[in-house]
Structure 1
Amino acid sequence: MVRKGPFYWVSISCGIMVLAFILLPLVELLTAPSGTMLKETLRDKNVIRSIWLSIYTAMSAAGISFIVGTPLAYVLARSQFRGKHFIESIIDLPIVIPHPVVGIAILSVAGRNHWLGHFMQELGIRIMGSTTGIITVLTFVGMPFYINALKSGFEAISPRLENVSRSLGASMWSTFIRITFPLAWRSVLVGLIMCCARSISEFGAVVVVAYHPMIAPVLIYERYEGYGLQYSQPVAVWLVLVCLSLFLVLRVLALPQKKAS
């Protein structure tokens, strides 16, 4: 038996500290409200509306990311061209930009003083204080997670499979639909869940663009500011449970497939 040295025990100690750092606040949050308070919170129409709006807008952002992000992820995974790293850096920018800055940037484009904002207003599209604005913000912050996850999935697929399909007379589109995309389905789902989970947690950019209608994080903030922890905790618990469910699904999908013996 190999003797466990100091490095092993230091690693174990650091792992325990990390888990305690993450779990202690969450356990306290989840156990603070009583069962009665949680049930009463679910009877609050404003709470149900805000949670469903969070889920709806997050899923909409994930759907948009799927439509426009899938082709880009494939190109980045399969192509080498000048400026590729620059494009990848641009895609990652929403991850590092402070969230209120994201909201201000979007309003700068969607305002009346910008030609695009003026054009959208003529079409009847309103960004500020609307569900459309929330979806726009969530797509902005969530799309990088989808593209990066799917890009990694495409890179893991051997190009030889696509070359064989093309050599047999299949078009590039047919090869992608029949070969590449089915092999990358796990990465697609992981990317969608990552995008959706990231979108549900967004607050800073949304509160700048659309304080109303209220998504769950904004409602939690309003109740904390107005009434304190007691009234904000039950809503936070339900939102945490929704996010936890998403990440549990993510972990299950990320598990490697068992090979048949």
Structure 2
Amino acid sequence: MRGLPGRIFQAWMGLSALLVVLFIAIPLAKVLTAPTWDVLLETLSDADVLKSVWLSMSASATAAFIAFLFGTPLAYFLARHQFPGKKVVESLVDLPIMIPHPVVGIALLSLTSPHTGFGRMLQSMGIEIMGTRTGIVAVLFFVGMPFYVNAAKSGIESIAPRLENVSRSLGAGSAATFFRITLPLCWRYMLVGIIMCMARAISEFGAIIIVAYHPMVAPVLMYERFTAFGLKYSQPVAVILILVSMLFFLLLRTLSLPKEKTE
């Protein structure tokens, strides 16, 4: 009798896994196969589409680079130090993953409004957030930062602290130790974090339409074409976004690291 429950459980596990995979794959396959080649080629030669895709890619890359510059020190600090309120800081870093996306746009506009001191300072420097590429990058940085910080933090935690201690005991300073020891050992984690940050940024929509409907990133263009012309003209843009996203996650899987920690 024990064999029958075991087989039933295994069958349920396999069927459940299959249903989840099909639930993801079938709608995406339908979108990928819906446009005709003529419509798809026409979309690929559409200047507005190419411009929006390039804006999505370049703004996401810029946001990921900023996350690398400013998120790496935060990741290192969280990985190497214990302090009161650390869980609060980690929760705050993760918060953009959970909060509704329009809230991100409203929060950024509230901060940079001309009615605030920070907003007036930005205006005095000639920096505009509403309806600009700068605003788009700010949104993408906000939503993508947690993915980079968490990946980089995991990489730094995988390195035995004694390696850094030995480097310092031999006379290397903090900067030399980081660039000669820490960075070479966890650069792949950081690269994975950059890819995850870009992948998350490319998909952003809810905050973008509040902060910068124009210039249009690819998700906003797809939404506009759907509301104006229906599925026929929005599906080809969706195909491009699906393929770009698949490319990013193939890179992510290729760069995935084994779980063992550095000894």
Instruction: State TM-score, norm by structure 2.
Output: 0.95
Q: Counterpart of 2:128?
A: 126
Following superposition of structure 1 onto structure 2, how do residues 233-252 of structure 1 map, counting pairs within 5 Å?
Answer: 233-252=235-254
Q: Out of 196, 209, 224, which is 1:194 matched to?
A: 196
- Displacement, 1:240? 1.0
Q: Out of 170, 176, 181, which is 2:178 matched to?
A: 176
SS at match of 1:193: helix
One-letter identity of the residue aligned with 1:19: V
One-letter identity of the residue aligned with 2:226: Y
CA distance in 1, matches of 2:154, 2:10: 31
Q: Counterpart of 2:149?
A: 147
Q: Out of 88, 91, 94, which is 2:93 matched to?
A: 91
One-letter identity of the residue aligned with 1:124: G
CA distance in 1, matches of 2:171, 2:8: 60
- Displacement, 1:6? 2.6
Contact conserved, 2:189 with 2:257, CA < 8 A, in 1?
Answer: no
Number of residues of Structure 1 aligned to a counterpart in Structure 2? 255
Q: Out of 190, 202, 205, which is 1:203 matched to?
A: 205
One-letter identity of the residue aligned with 2:40: L
Q: Counterpart of 2:77?
A: 75
Q: Counterpart of 2:25?
A: 23
SS at match of 2:214: coil
CA distance in 1, matches of 2:138, 2:167: 38
SS at match of 1:169: coil
- Percent identical among aligned pairs is 58
For the aligned residues, what is the CA RMSD?
1.2
Q: Counterpart of 1:43?
A: 45
- Displacement, 1:31? 0.5
Please list every run of at least 4 consecutive aligned residues from structure 1 whose deviation after the TM superposition is greater than 3 angstroms: none
- Aligned pair 1:220/2:190, yes or no? no
SS at match of 1:204: coil
1:61-83 deviations in Å (ceiling 9; x for gaps): 00000000001101100110111
CA distance in 2, matches of 1:75, 1:133: 28
1:103-126 deviations in Å (ceiling 9; x for gaps): 011000111111111111111100
CA distance in 2, matches of 1:98, 1:80: 30
